[in-house]
Amino acid sequence: MRVLVIEDYELLRDSVSQGLREAGFAVDAAASGEQGLRYAQSGQYDVIVLDLMLPRLDGLTVLQNLRQEGSPSHVLILTAKDTAADRIKGLNLGADDYLVKPFVFEELLARVHALVRRKYAAKSPILRIGDMQIDTVARTVSRAGRRIELTAREYALLEFLAMRAGQLVTRTDIWEHVYEFHSDAQSNVVDVFIGHLRRKIELPGLGRLIHTRRGQGYVLGETP
Amino acid sequence: MTRSLRARLLLGTTLATTVVFFVAAGILYGTLRGALLAEFDNALAARAQALASLVEQNEREIKMDPDPLASNLGKGASQDYFAIWDEHGKSIAQSDWRAGTNGLAAPPTKGSPERASFIRLPGGGRGRRTVLFFTPKREDEETTPPLATFHQACLVLVRETEGLDRRLAQLAWVLTGVFGITMLVSAATMAWVVRRGLTPLNALADRIHAIGATDLSERIALHESPQEMLPVVQRLNELLVNVESAIARERTFTADVTHELRTPLAGLTAALEVCGSRKRQPEEYEQAIGKCLKAARGMHAMVENLLIVARADANRLHPQYEPVNAGWLLQEGWRPFEGRAAARGLAIDWTVADDLLVQTDQSLLRIVVRNLLDNAATYAGSGGRICIEGRQADDRIVLRISNTGSQIHSEQVADVFKRFWRGDAARSDVDQHCGLGLALCRRIVTLLEGTISIDTVLGGTFCVTLHLPAKC
């Protein structure tokens, strides 16, 4: 899943970005409203973490622009203002969630996860595909009751596929949602990672779950 | 003296009216008594005259003509007693009198006052006595020739004053009664009037009570207050204005502090939480600790600045003037930033005159200098240049601090002085600044009776110029 962090205070921006990356998200960080808007317009982000008190172009204006342009990203607002009026304003302008500074990072993480689930209309934190069970909160994967250890990247990729289980996911989709903006664009990197993932989850004795649609992409499901 | 206004007013007015009424009653009584006595005395004198006309004298003696009317003496409402003597003290006639009656025992000497006077009667009671010296008429006046010498006689008439005394006593009682009732009525009326008159005070007390601690925007209407209370009410309103603005300032300060500290705090906690979320290499911990320390220091500086700004707002900042070497202050202020400047490859130009003395508050000027040098060292583009100038110009000293790589547009100069305004923060290699610096600098410089101005060209030089009076 891809997250954009727009926050001008460096320490906060860096810490949140690092924390989200370590939790398996692909994170891009912007230090100003203008930069953030540029990134958001050019990339598809699942969640945008937006600070309201930005210099020059303030957060609410960025939010308005995003919504006017029809951005499908879910927006979580970070702000030091905690009055109800501010919360209402932010939500009415199109924010999906609201967190007051200072916050517990775990909570930010949980809310971002919730927004991702919402985006993919997965109400339950447990995803079940065939005999595979993915706990999106605990970030664990098991098949037929046996735990499978994945790296953060692998998990992110699997979760992305699982969120759209049964749907075709193109390489471009995977690339844009799971890998960061500034990474080198090599199309077979996706294939390589899918291969890694397959090796881990499609153990001998367990059925195939990741199906290739030649020339198009991949589908996660019991049947191709 | 009692502390109650109402009691004092009541006491004062009651005392005054008592005295006035007392005096009036006294005068009234005196006048009426005088009239009654005059009436009595007139009757007495008439009686005496009547008796005297009954006395006749001839060549040999003075005698009283026993008149049938005379036998009426002693009858009637009051008892009369009389005695008549000739000029040698020989008794001519006298009424039935009880022995020992004063004034009737012996003839008065000629020359004693002839006015009526009260005497004590034997057997108790009181009487009024009048004395008449007269010359008895010639016996058979019409038929006989006048005498060669006329002898004098003296009549003393005493009348019981029982009736008079009774009437006087009645008068006294009536007046006392009227006086007493009048006093009571007036006291009651006074009490009511005083209470009514003091209601504005009670109303004011109620209004003040109604202005609670939560809503200080109310003012006491001047048109409702009596004239005497206008100064009090006006002063009260002024005080309310002061208190309200003081509380508003405090609220603003508290809101500013909490608001501005929240972001650095969020950064601090996020950094620590993320750092502590898993096992890391020592270098990572070191880095994290360094960043957190910087953030904490930044917050400290922000709080200090906010406090100074708040004090300046509340006009509680009082400069202590002393001679200060501005050049030395600049050099001392620059020291903490030398490292940063070197690390960023900045060139420094010093053009500071020696002995640049200024009469000012050293600690406040130090804050300004530190803020400006901090900004220059922070916002100068990497590999750029910082110019620090100080010179004397007539009666002022001019300090100028400028840096290349300005990111502020010339049109944003007014914004730059606003509180909490932050310029473009798209820098990855410098600390976050809270934006309070220039607002604080301007506040302080104004307090020190100087001026501060900024010239800037986007991409060019950002220049801050300070003018301070050399002597205060």
Q: What is the pLDDT of residues B67-99, one digit of tens each?
A: 655 555 555 556 778 888 887 777 777 776 554
Most confident of B145-149, B332-336, B415-419: B332-336
Which tokens hold the place of B48? 């005496």
pLDDT at A164 over 70: yes
Q: Are strands B153-160 and B347-352 parallel, antiparallel or unpaired?
A: unpaired
Q: How many angstroms separate the CA atoms of A111 and B115, rounded?
A: 123
Q: What is the pLDDT of residue B431?
A: 41
ipTM for the predicted complex comes to 0.75
The number of C-beta contacts closer than 8 angstroms across A and B is 96
The pLDDT, as a whole number, for residue B111 is 64
Residue written as token pair 């009198």? B97
Structure tokens, B154: 């003296």
Q: Can you give the pLDDT at residue B417? A: 76
Which one has a higher pLDDT value, A111 or B139? Answer: A111
Which pLDDT does position B2 carry in this prediction? 65
pLDDT tens-digit series, residues B221-230: 777 778 888 8
Pick from A85-89, B59-63, B190-194, B260-264: least confident: B59-63
Which of B258, B274, B421 lies at the smallest CB-CB distance from A105?
B274
Say whether pLDDT at A206 is over 80: no
Q: Which of A122, A103, A134, A97 is nearest to A209 (CA)?
A: A134
CB-closest option in A22, A55, A101 to B425? A55
At residue A197, the 3 state secondary structure works out as: helix
Mean pLDDT of B315-335: 87
Handedness of CA B169, B171, B172, B178 (dihedral sign): positive
Q: Average per-residue pLDDT in chain B?
A: 81
Q: Closest-CA residue in chain A for B277?
A: A19
Q: Is the pLDDT of residue A8 over 90?
A: no
Do the beta carbons of residue B190 and residue B13 sit within 8 Å?
A: yes
Q: How far is CA B179 from CA A65, A75, A142, B154, in A?
A: 94, 93, 113, 45
pLDDT at residue A18, as a whole number: 95
Q: Within 10 A of A70 (CB to CB), how many other CB atoms are there?
A: 6
The confidence score (pLDDT) of residue B424 equals 44
Interface test with B, best of A5, A15, A139 (most B CBs within 10 A): A15
CB atoms within 10 A of CB B232: 13
The pTM of the whole model exceeds 0.80: no
Which of the residue ranges B110-119, B250-259, B312-321, B351-360 has the most confident prediction, judged by mean pLDDT?
A: B351-360
Q: Is B277 on the interface with A (CB under 8 A)?
A: yes
C-beta atoms of A9 and B277 within 8 A: no
Cβ separation of A11 and B260 shorter than 8 Å? no
- Residue among B113, B110, B75 nearest B95 (CA): B75
- What's the gap in Å between the CA of B352 and the closest CA on chain A? 35
Q: If DSSP codes are grouped into helix, strand and coil, which group holds residue B7?
A: helix
The alpha carbon of residue B434 is apart from the nearest alpha carbon of chain A, in Å, by 10
Which secondary-structure segment (H or E) carries B137?
strand B137-138
pLDDT digits (tens, 9 = 90+) for B388-411: 999 988 888 999 999 998 888 888
Can you tell me which residue has the tokens 């009549």? Answer: B155
CB burial class (10 A; 0-12, 13-18, 19+) of residue A48? buried
The verdict on a CB contact (< 8 Å) between A56 and B270 is: no
DSSP B381: P
Sequence-distant (6+) residues with CB within 8 A of B77 are B163
B408: closest chain A residue by CA: A56
Strands A74-79 and A47-51, bridge-based pairing:
parallel
Burial of A4 (0-12, 13-18, 19+ CB in 10 A): buried
Q: How far is the CA of B443 from the CAs of A50, B317, B321, B400, B438, in angstroms?
A: 33, 10, 17, 18, 8
Contact predicate B44/B128, CB 8 Å: yes
- Provide the phi-psi class of A141: left if phi over 0, else alpha when psi is between -120 and 50, else beta: beta
Sheet arrangement for strand B385-393 = B347-352, B385-393, B396-404, B461-469, B451-456
Which segments of B259-339 are extended strands (E)? 322-325
Which position has the higher pLDDT, B34 or B156?
B34
Query: Which residue of chain A is at minimal alpha-carbon distance from B426?
Result: A31
Predicted local distance difference test score (pLDDT) of residue A185: 55
B429 touches chain A (CB under 8 A): no
Residue B111 DSSP one-character state: T
